[in-house]
Amino acid sequence: MRTRPAGTWQRLLDEQHGIITTKQMHAFGVNKDSINHYVETGQWLRVFRGVVSVTNGPLTREMQLSAVLLYSGRGALLSHTTAAEEWGWVRPGAGPVHVTVPYGCSATSKPPTMRHAKQNFTSKSNEQIHPGVVVHRSRAMGHIGAETNPARTSTVDTVLDLVVAEPTSRQATITLVSAMSSGGVNVAAMTSKVEVRRPMRYLKPILHTLALMRDGVHSALEHRYVLDVEQAHGLPVGQRQAPVFVDGRQLFEDIRYQICDLIVRLDGQAFHSAKQRRFRDRRRDNAAELRNLPRLMYGWHEVTDDPCGVYREAREVLVREGWDDASYPCERCAL
């Protein structure tokens, strides 16, 4: 070990967070027997085949990601849930690391890597060396990456990966709206990506949801209202983000049913400060009252936990105000 060029060796370990491949070590003159000795005596940890941690302690998040990228080979990108975690949309979880590699790459998915008790006794909480890796493959590797360290898929590609990975088209559309909102991905960028990188699954639901977003659906709550209240029960299509002028200032109603001027407000816009929200709602309330307009307000829990109850209330007001009822109960209404 003392004969290796310390400066180059140290820089490599710093860049890779203490993770190194056996191929890299061979280039520094470390032979197979020496590597096996350090691993078997518990001084180093074998994370994956050909990938070693030059420490025997728990791996940090940076070390886990570095190990996966080194294992997966040149051009690999953190993707799916892991990329979303790295972009800051969701908190890092305890599950496996997701990575996308080119077709032809030999890397395969691996279960969690565990310590061998006969080599290194430790507490149960420290038995797992690495949470494992899920390997995805892509033919568009040259177009989906972002210039980040560590390497990962772009925001828009990460959204598309998460959407296509969902088990149902309904969950795919919910994830699409939520991830686009969290990742700051606009409709134009997502539409362009879908045209260039045409998904093999859920194409029609994706395009339909993007059309809804172009028409004014701005949040996950608004999208759930469209899916579970309007479309599931045959309610009329409301106007999204309907403008209203109050004191010379333009404000917007979340949904306005022009048939009878019913206003539905969805209180899920957490990005507004409490003061801003109170002022906005007060002015809109006053304007609606002066025009003698009916209005309903719902939050996340009402729309997601009891969409049928929301439907019944909206239907009652719509019918009362003159709508010729054409709605119907959904499958959940009978439960």
CA neighbor of 327 nearest in space, from 307, 312, 310, 309: 312
- In DSSP terms, 263 is beta-bridged to 256, 295
Question: Please, what is the average pLDDT of the chain?
Answer: 87
Strands of 262-267's sheet, edge to edge? 239-246, 249-257, 262-267, 295-299
- Sign of the Cα torsion 54, 59, 61, 67 reads positive
**Cα–Cα nearest to 20, from 53, 58, 57:** 53
Cis amide prior to 150 (ω within 30 degrees): yes
Tens-digit pLDDT profile for residues 59-68: 999 999 999 9
Kindly give the pairing relationship between strand 239-246 and strand 97-102. unpaired
- The answer to pTM > 0.85 is no
Residue 255 makes CB contacts below 8 A (sequence gap 6+) with 222, 225, 238, 239, 240, 242, 263, 264, 265, 266
Single-letter amino acid code for the residue at 77: L
Average pLDDT over residues 229-245: 88
Among 17-21, 142-146, 275-279, the range scoring the smallest mean pLDDT is 275-279
Query: Distance of alpha carbon 182 from its chain centroid, rounded?
Result: 7
CA–CA dist 17, 10 (Å, integer) = 10
> What is the tens place of the pLDDT at every residue in 177-194?
999 988 899 999 999 999
Instruction: Kindly report, residue by residue over 6-60, the tens digit of the pLDDT.
Output: 678 889 999 999 999 999 999 988 899 999 999 988 899 999 999 999 988 899 9
The strand ranges marked E within 49-139 are: 51-53, 77-78, 97-102, 113-114, 128-130, 133-138
Rounded to the nearest 5°, which phi and psi values hold at 320?
-60, -35
DSSP 34-64: HHHHHHHTTSSEEEETTEEESSSSPPPHHHH
Six token digits for residue 230: 């309007």
- Write down the pLDDT at residue 273: 42
pLDDT more than 70, % of the chain:
86
Which burial class, exposed, middle or buried, applies to 86 when counting CB atoms under 10 A from its CB (0-12, 13-18, 19+)? buried
What is d(CA 134, CA 98) in angstroms, rounded to the nearest whole number?
5
Mean pLDDT value of segment 105-126:
78
Matching residue, tokens 């177009």:
143
The residue whose two tokens read 């996340």 is 300
The answer for 52, left when phi > 0, alpha when psi is -120 to 50, beta otherwise, is beta
| pLDDT at residue 19, rounded to an integer | 96
Is the confidence at residue 335, as pLDDT, over 80?
Answer: no
Q: What is the mean pLDDT of residues 154-158?
A: 97
Is 118's pLDDT higher than 60?
no
pLDDT of amino acid 223: 93
Specify whether the CB–CB gap between 32 and 18 falls below 8 A: no
